Amino acid sequence: MQQVHLLISGKVQGVWYRVFVQKNARELGLTGWVKNTDEGHVEAMVQGNTDVIESLIKLCRQGPPLADVKNIAVTQEESKDSYTDFAIW
């Protein structure tokens, strides 16, 4: 299992972006969480198969219709926690 940290910037708050990420992550069978940051970004921790995580990242680059994604910083991490669902924090 792989774990990646995502930091998504652009117009990603107030456009249902977290719900979009959660819905797609659950459909892909991924676990983790997604939340807004105080700086106006969206942050996510994603666990699962490498290929499936890449599929989610591609979807995140599009985002929901009202979003305007400028950048996604992807950082590989060691799994410290094991998640059983994909939550919105």
pLDDT in tens, 5-64: 999 999 999 999 999 999 999 999 999 999 999 999 999 999 999 999 999 999 999 999
Q: How many Cα atoms are found within 13 Å in the side-chain-facing hemisphere of 64? A: 15
Please tell me the predicted confidence (pLDDT) of residue 81: 77
Model's pTM, two decimal places? 0.94
* CA-wise closest residue to 23 among 81, 87, 89: 87
DSSP H helical segments within the chain, as ranges? 17-28, 50-62
Count the residues in the chain: 89
Q: Which of 18, 26, 49, 71 is catalytic?
A: 18
Q: Which of 36, 49, 61, 71 is catalytic?
A: 36
Is residue 36 part of the annotated active site? The answer reads: yes
Please tell me the predicted confidence (pLDDT) of residue 55: 98
Q: For the segment 59-79, what is each residue's pLDDT rounded down to a tens digit?
A: 999 999 999 999 999 999 888
- Structural domains of the chain, ranges and CATH numbers in brackets: 2-78 (3.30.70.100)
